[in-house]
Amino acid sequence: MILEGLRRAFEMLLSFDPQVWGPVRVSLEVSCVATLLAAVAAIPLGVVIGLSRFAGRRIIVSVLNTMLALPTVLVGLLVYGLISRSGPLGAWDILYTPTAMIIGQTILAMPMICAFTVASVERSDPRIRLSMLSLGAGRIKASVAVALENRAALAAALAAGFGRVFSEVGVAMMLGGNIRGYTRNITTGIAFETGKGEFALGVALGTVLLVVALAVNFAVGYWNYRGGRRQ
């Protein structure tokens, strides 16, 4: 059954079957946008937390690390309650749209990216910031310099955030609703097709999921490796 599924899966992939590539497009769009939005908020926040020393900082970092394990269905539940038409943001009318999926996935990716950023900034050479400050740079400029110096690690943070949301199913199912040709993405598609006994389609989607996840991680790993050799 699995072998037959594999064979038909590759036929579908190669013939650009919209049943396969439609969900792939939704997955890529939603997860890329969510990762980007999360990064815009999480990287500056992570740099600030990583560089500063204040009371309660340990607690914040611990909370952040705990949030790495934030269950996707819990995020789905909370956002659902907010954006349902009978919820406080009901007027936005975005439940069961890609926008709703992006909101949920952004919340999922943020702690991931933030925690990775904090860790990398903490590990970085403190002399970078000090020398920037002594050269007359402002605190913001010095922080940017630290972030740029760690850009390979920040890319790893982005990849981790992307990997988290690209492969999750809870938020996509609860907030997207698995609507064919609109919010059906790779993971909800696999769950749905397997439920229908359509293993070939499930395998085809699963293959793309794996390949994209691998490609992203290889790209970041290669960059880190090259960066490591140059230093």
Partner 1 sequence: MSIRSLVVMVSVLASALVATCCTRESNEERSIRFATTTSVENTGLLQALLAPFTERTGIKVHVVAVGTGQALTLARNGDADAVLVHDVDAELAFVKEGFGIHRVGVMHNDFVLLGPPEDPAGVKGLPPAQALAKIAASGSTFVSRGDESGTHRRELKLWQQAGVEPSGRWYIETGQGQRLTIQMADEKRGYCLTDRGTYVVAQSKVNLSLLVEGGEELLNPYHAMAVNPAVRPGVRYVESLALLGWLMSPEGQSMIGDFRQDGIQLFHPDSPSPESLSGAVP
Among 15, 66, 84, 131, binds partner 1 (CB under 8 A): 84
The answer to whether the beta carbons of residues 173 and 62 sit under 8 Å apart is: no
Among 90, 130, 215, 225, binds partner 1 (CB under 8 A): 90
Which span (8-16, 60-68, 117-125, 191-199) binds partner 1, by CB under 8 A?
Answer: 191-199
Give the separation between CA 139 and CA 159, rounded to whole angstroms: 28
The answer to whether the beta carbons of residues 42 and 110 sit under 8 Å apart is: yes
CB of 102 to partner 1, least distance (A): 8
Residue 231 touches partner 1, criterion: CB under 8 A: no
CB of 85 to partner 1, least distance (A): 3
CB of 12 to partner 1, least distance (A): 17
Residue 82 touches partner 1, criterion: CB under 8 A: no
Give the separation between CA 97 and CA 168, rounded to whole angstroms: 17
The answer to whether the beta carbons of residues 24 and 96 sit under 8 Å apart is: no
Residue 36 touches partner 1, criterion: CB under 8 A: yes
Binding mask 171-190 for partner 1 (x = CB under 8 A): ------xxxx-xx-------
Residue 86 touches partner 1, criterion: CB under 8 A: yes
Nearest-CA neighbor of 157 among 113, 107, 219?
113
Give the separation between CA 115 and CA 112, rounded to whole angstroms: 5
